[in-house]
Amino acid sequence: MDFNQKFRDRTKNFSISIIKSLSSLPYSDGLSIIRKQIIRSATSVAANYRAVARARSEKERFAKICIVVEEIDETQLWLEIIEEMRYLDSENILHLKSECEELVKVMTTYKFKLSQNKTA
């Protein structure tokens, strides 16, 4: 499996994990807002990463990876808030935070690599 397919699957699976983890939690106004925001940002990571792989130019690829990095960073923020508010058990939040951190590192590195290619 190539890099693009691996991370298309990985970002999609991460989105699904976020949705599943938060969907079963009881309703509250605060949690409802957080749930909506993190689901939006996590699914945006997956959708925009798919767009990276299908970009028609290097400029478009770089623009899309910038969106991916912003959205995965936002997802990381929401996970920190969820953890601090103790909405999820520690095992579940640890798994989500770990995967998010790895995706942040990979996508940030990929963005940097693309920015180096633009200046070369």
In angstroms, rounded to a whole number, what is the distance separating the alpha carbons of residues 34 and 102?
22
Which class would CATH give 3-119? mainly alpha
Instruction: Give the residue among 62, 75, 77, 46 at the shortest CA–CA distance from 111.
Output: 62
| Cβ atoms 46, 16 nearer than 8 A | no
Tens-place pLDDT, residues 76-110: 999 999 999 999 999 999 999 999 999 999 999 99
Query: What residue segments make up the domains of the chain, in order of their start?
Result: 3-119
The pair of three-digit structure tokens given for residue 22, joined into one six-digit string: 């938060």
9-48 pLDDT, tens per residue? 999 999 999 999 999 899 999 999 999 999 999 999 999 9
